[in-house]
């Protein structure tokens, strides 16, 4: 199966231009024989949408989503966007469309809410890890922080996923100067491919965006400042550079193709079930994985152990043992 990954530079809050660009790229890839086309997280909106998130949200029955689905005739695509539900909740989502038909939207499950990340302020979190079938492959989609929680990729593998589409918006310096996002994503991307024996289509974006935060001015600061009026806050602004580096990794954890840093690029390759089979034969360590055991242990941890601790503290457990 021929897969394409587009490392794009979306314009912040410019839904119209981003939509036209994505549709054009889907058709371009289809003309070159692509059977699956992947885009970054929030490819239709940019990342730092702030309080204007609702202005660029799309419902699943919107004309824009229908146009995206129509563009996938003869291929399939996974596109990051902001989804508005019928209940008027908003999600950081990935649209999955195959051959002109909408399959579903995967809703990001783990929303970061620290440092420059404010997703939980604006978005609701997803509740499921769905998969879809394409050709002979079972595919699971994950959005950025989903992949920092290993239980979620595991839920994809339990459903026999053999391809991950890992879409993210990772910028340089967003986690502080002592933490390298580029190095960390390189480890994460290869880890899941190697441990689970899956193809990993990893697609990040490029470009730069400004992030703004209104900070309170402390009394100690105001004491040394000339009077500037009644305002009790000031605007702090930083520019973040999204680094790209998209890659497609085989089931042995080896990069098949990799995009450059900081430049728009498209990468493509062919993925094969033969390689998946070879990995399972040579390294069959998931063969004996038992999700029922995992379920039983979680039941004990979440329900039985807290109950026993409560009984022990109340003295009830001692009486029962007697």
Mean pLDDT for 220-231 is 50
Q: Is the pLDDT of residue 201 over 70?
A: yes
Do 57 and 117 belong together in one domain? yes
Do 17 and 95 belong together in one domain? yes
pLDDT, residue 212, reads: 79
Q: Is the pLDDT of residue 149 over 70?
A: yes
| Residue 110 included in any domain | yes
Cα(82)–Cα(30) distance, integer angstroms? 24
pLDDT, residue 176, reads: 62
pLDDT, residue 304, reads: 87
Do 113 and 168 belong together in one domain? yes
Do 295 and 276 belong together in one domain? no
Mean pLDDT of the chain: 90
For the chain, report the end-to-end CA distance as a whole number of angstroms: 65
34 token code pair: 């692509």
Q: Is the pLDDT of residue 249 over 50?
A: yes
- Cα distances from 204 to residues 7, 142, 278, in angstroms, run 6, 12, 29
Do 125 and 175 belong together in one domain? yes
63-71 helix and 15-31 helix, angle to the nearest 10 degrees: 20
| Residue 224 included in any domain | no
- Whole-number percent of the chain with pLDDT over 90: 79
pLDDT, residue 210, reads: 86
pLDDT, residue 129, reads: 98
Kindly indicate the confidence band of residue 315, based on its pLDDT and cuts at 50, 70 and 90: low
Kindly indicate the confidence band of residue 219, based on its pLDDT and cuts at 50, 70 and 90: very low
Q: Which residues contact 63 (CB under 8 A, 6 or more apart)?
A: none
Residue 295 dihedral angles phi and psi, to the nearest 5°: -60, -45
Q: Is the pLDDT of residue 135 over 60?
A: yes
Do 234 and 215 belong together in one domain? yes
Kindly indicate the confidence band of residue 218, based on its pLDDT and cuts at 50, 70 and 90: low
Kindly indicate the confidence band of residue 216, based on its pLDDT and cuts at 50, 70 and 90: low
- β-strands 2-7, 76-84: how paired? unpaired
Q: Write out pLDDT tens, residues 36-52.
A: 999 999 999 999 999 99
Q: Which residues contact 47 (CB under 8 A, 6 or more apart)?
A: 12, 41, 169, 171, 205, 209, 242
Q: Is the pLDDT of residue 170 over 80?
A: yes
Cα(3)–Cα(248) distance, integer angstroms? 9
Q: Write out pLDDT tens, residues 66-87.
A: 999 999 999 999 999 999 999 9
- Geometric angle at alpha carbon 205, from 199 and 208, rounded to 5°: 160
Q: Is 259 helix (H, G, I), strand (E, B) or coil?
A: coil
Residue 34 CB-density burial (10 A; 0-12 exposed, 13-18 middle, 19+ buried)? buried
Mean pLDDT for 256-262 is 97
Q: Is the pLDDT of residue 230 over 90?
A: no
pLDDT, residue 223, reads: 47
Quote the number of domains for the chain.
2
pLDDT, residue 322, reads: 46
Question: Tokens 């730092």 identify what position?
Answer: 48
The DSSP 8-state label assigned to residue 291 in this structure reads H
pLDDT, residue 68, reads: 98
| Residue 128 included in any domain | yes
Which structural domain range is residue 189 located in?
2-219+229-284
- Geometric angle at alpha carbon 26, from 202 and 7, rounded to 5°: 35
- Whole-number percent of the chain with pLDDT over 70: 86
Q: Which residues contact 168 (CB under 8 A, 6 or more apart)?
A: 40, 41, 143, 144, 147, 185, 202, 203, 204
Q: Write out pLDDT tens, residues 270-302.
A: 999 999 999 999 999 888 999 999 999 999 999
Do 172 and 311 belong together in one domain? no
| Residue 254 included in any domain | yes
Q: Tell which wins on pLDDT, 223 or 107.
A: 107
Reported pTM: 0.88
pLDDT, residue 220, reads: 43
- β-strands 36-38, 76-84: how paired? parallel
pLDDT, residue 9, reads: 98
- Cα distances from 297 to residues 236, 285, 294, 312, in angstroms, run 47, 20, 5, 20
């Amino acid at each position: 199966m021929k897969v394409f990954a587009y490392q794009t530079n979306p314009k912040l809050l410019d839904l119209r231009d981003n939509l036209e660009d994505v549709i054009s790229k889907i058709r371009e890839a289809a003309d070159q024989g692509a059977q699956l086309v992947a885009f970054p997280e929030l490819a239709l909106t940019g990342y730092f949408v702030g309080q204007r998130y609702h202005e660029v949200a799309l419902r699943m029955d919107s004309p824009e989503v229908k146009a995206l689905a129509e563009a996938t005739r003869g291929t399939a695509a996974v596109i990051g966007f902001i989804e508005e539900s019928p209940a008027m909740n908003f999600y950081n989502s990935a649209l999955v469309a195959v051959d002109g038909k909408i399959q579903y939207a995967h809703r990001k499950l783990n929303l970061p809410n620290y440092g420059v990340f404010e997703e939980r302020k604006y978005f609701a979190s997803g509740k499921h890890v769905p998969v879809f079938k394409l050709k002979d492959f079972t595919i699971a989609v994950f959005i950025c922080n989903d992949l920092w929680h290993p239980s979620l990729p595991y839920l994809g593998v339990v459903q026999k996923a053999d391809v991950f589409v890992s879409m993210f918006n990772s910028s340089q310096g967003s986690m502080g100067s002592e933490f390298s996002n580029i190095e960390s994503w390189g480890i994460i991307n290869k880890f899941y491919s190697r441990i689970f024996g899956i193809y990993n289509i990893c697609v990040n974006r490029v470009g730069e965006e400004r992030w703004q935060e209104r900070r309170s001015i402390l009394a100690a600061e105001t004491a040394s400042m000339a009077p500037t009026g009644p305002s009790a806050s000031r605007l702090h602004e930083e520019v973040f550079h999204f680094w790209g580096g998209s890659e497609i990794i085989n089931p042995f954890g080896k990069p098949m193709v990799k995009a450059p840093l900081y430049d728009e690029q498209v990468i493509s390759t062919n993925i094969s079930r033969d390689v998946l089979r070879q990995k399972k034969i040579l390294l069959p360590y998931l063969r004996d994985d038992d999700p029922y055991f995992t379920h039983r242990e979680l039941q004990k941890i979440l329900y039985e152990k807290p109950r026993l601790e409560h009984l022990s503290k109340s003295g009830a457990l001692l009486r029962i043992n007697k």
